[in-house]
Amino acid sequence: MKYEPLFMEPKFKDYIWGGKRLKQIFNKNVENEDCTAESWEISTNEAGVSVIKNGELKNKTLIQVFNDTKYKLDIFGAKCQDLEEFPLLVKFIDANSNLSVQVHPNDEYAMENENSKGKTEMWYVLDCGNDAQIICGVKPETTKETLQNKIENNKVIDVLNFVNVKKGDVIYIPAGTIHALLGNTLVAEIQQNSNITYRVYDWDRVGTDGKPRQLHTKKAIDVIDVEKTPQITNAGNEIGIKNIIKSEYFEVEKINVKEKIQCTNVLDSFMAFCVVEGNGNIKINDEIYKITKGDSFILPACIKNYEVIGNVELLRAHL
């Protein structure tokens, strides 16, 4: 078989807080041009499974390929051989208005209560307003008891920590951290393969059915760790390859190319890419594959050497 980059068809989510930027900025072929919230770019999660759109594996789902022993080692690498499911989920998220204040469980709690992995995640800010903010953690000296009281009395905003963000910021959000992506913010999200979210506050709004959206107060209180606060850095604009996240669940680099960069994979892991600016090419041996802003793809683990060419910025995630 000829191994090459696996480009994915995205799956779109039309949540009430979505906007227009997935179409405007990434030229995504969305069904709802006015209110598309998320583009699931690389996923085997049952809520939105990726389909491969090129090469010999065209029209196969990523689940089918991951579960096929003919491909698993060569495409996903030795680090995935003992895994029952693809470990990551990659998204673009357009927060036109505030997301709910929420928290995600860790692996132990999620497996016991939801039969799922937990959810540690990271955001890379692609675009935002001049006064854009996120919620990350609680104010200093806020106890678990105080937080629980505020949640139960619909006053949790009183103790939340609001932080300004700008383009290029990297926010790492461990499971158990209370947080929210707020309005006028576009991000790339790389996370564990989980869709478990516990809402604690939703800005007193109603869903499309005219009723308040469900909260998950008890489970949220169970899993919130008031000591946890997202880690915020800025990726900068340096040319080259820069590690921006290193965790037990995934690592992420930003690759900033102005002409060309030679890359080598020595990790025995797939490489999951999303193109966040510009356009260019991936060169593998003598083959050229065009990449443009908004594209996402997996580079098989067996491809050890490749070249990124053009004026382009990418995020690269792996185990």
Helices (runs of H) and strands (runs of E) counted in the chain: 5, 21
- 199 in active site: yes
| Cα–Cα distance for residue pair 109/222, rounded to 1 Å | 9
Closest-CA residue to 239 (of 222, 255, 220):
255
Token code pair at residue 119:
């959810």
One DSSP character per residue, 165-202 reads --TTEEEEE-TT--EEEPSSEEEEEEEES----EEEE-
Q: How far apart are CA 124 and CA 137, in angstroms?
A: 18
Contact 185, 135 (CB under 8 A): no
Q: Per 3-state DSSP, what percentage of the chain is helix, strand, and coil (rounded to 5)?
A: 15, 40, 45
The bridge status of strand 169-173 relative to strand 179-181 is unpaired
Handedness of CA 165, 261, 289, 72 (dihedral sign): negative
Q: Can you read off the two tokens belonging to residue 296?
A: 């996402």
Spatial contact of 6 and 57, defined as CB atoms under 8 Å apart = yes
Q: What is the DSSP letter of 217?
A: H
200-224: b (≥16 Cβ within 10 Å) or e: bbbeeeeeeeeeeeebbeebbbebb
Considering the candidates 21, 199, 205, 213, report the single residue annotated as catalytic: 199
> Coil, helix or strand for 157?
helix
Structure tokens at 241: 């390859």
Instruction: Tell me the catalytic residues.
Output: 199
